[in-house]
Amino acid sequence: MRLLIMGPPGAGKGTQASSIADHYGIVTISTGQLFRDNIQLGTPLGKQIEALIAAGNLVPDEVTNQMVFQRLASPDVKKRGGFLLDGYPRTLEQVEALDGELVRSRRKLQAVIALVADPSQLVERLLKRAEIEGRADDNADSIRHRIDVYHAETAPLLEVYRDRGLLVEVDAMGAVEDVRTRITDALDAKLG
Ligand code: B4P
């Protein structure tokens, strides 16, 4: 299975991605998590992107694409035969780059999960996470900026995938378990 999960910050991408991937026996590739791991480990990439992420800006496309393609080519992804990309692509340039990479590796996307959330709840969820996890980008200014960046750069991608017949829109409000069931029901209905 080859899937994407998209949605505004706080919609529940990362929250749902790993359990959805476990459910289907595929690998999750979360760009946000890969970036945070690099920052925590103090790698050259981590140093390059730390300030960008804290301010809620996107990491440059070239850097992001390269990181994702390396991961897509890794043995565990090949062995399991499927992946769920969480938080990628986020720009039209990333969509084009991913299209090229999938053609090169003779793989095709099967569905794009779009989490639909009530905007007022997004900020609330992220501020709650700030109290628990203390993520550098979970402060009021950065959250507002991330939501603006989402609308400017990422929301237009939904139409691209809708036109390709890949979009599966799921209501992301309510309990985490209920959202997960909605996602797997919608995917099973689409993919059979
Ligand atoms: P991400 O890691 O993708 O951050 P996010 O949008 O906040 O989503 P996340 O998955 O963490 O949170 P979720 O909605 O699950 O990106 C972080 C940064 O990395 C970006 O701002 C950017 O700088 C960079 N980046 C990542 N990908 C990039 C790309 N492709 N190109 C360029 N830059 C990129 O959950 C949020 C909170 O809601 C959690 O606390 C969760 O517990 C809670 N929650 C979730 N579901 C809930 C529910 N049903 N009910 C109540 N609470 C819920």
- Which residues contribute to the annotated binding site for ATP? 10-15, 129, 174
Measure 184 CA to ligand 1 centroid, in angstroms.
20
pLDDT tens-digit series, residues 64-111? 999 999 999 999 998 988 999 999 999 999 999 999 999 999 999 999
Q: Is residue 171 part of a domain?
A: yes
Domain range for 97: 2-186
CA distances from 44 to 36, 41, 63, 175 (A): 13, 9, 12, 38
Mean pLDDT computed over 12-39: 96
Q: Is 8 in the pocket of ligand 1 (CB under 6 A)?
A: no
Q: Is residue 74 part of a domain?
A: yes
Q: Is residue 192 part of a domain?
A: no
Task: Pick the atom of ligand 1 nearest to 94's CA.
Answer: 30
Q: Could you list the active site residues? A: 13, 90, 129, 135, 146
Q: Is residue 39 part of a domain?
A: yes
Q: Is residue 167 part of a domain?
A: yes
Q: Is residue 191 part of a domain?
A: no
Q: Is residue 102 part of a domain?
A: yes
Domain containing 34 — which CATH number? 3.40.50.300
Cα–Cα distance measured from residue 183 to residue 7, given in angstroms and rounded to the nearest whole number: 13
**Residue 187: is its pLDDT beyond 90?**
yes
Q: How confident is the model at residue 192 (pLDDT cuts 50, 70, 90)?
A: confident
Q: Is residue 113 part of a domain?
A: yes
- Number of other residues whose CB lies within 10 A of the CB of residue 155: 14
In this prediction the ipTM stands at: 0.90
- Number of other residues whose CB lies within 10 A of the CB of residue 158: 16
Mean pLDDT computed over 22-44: 97
What pTM was computed for the model? 0.94
Q: How confident is the model at residue 30 (pLDDT cuts 50, 70, 90)?
A: very high
Count of domains forming the chain: 1
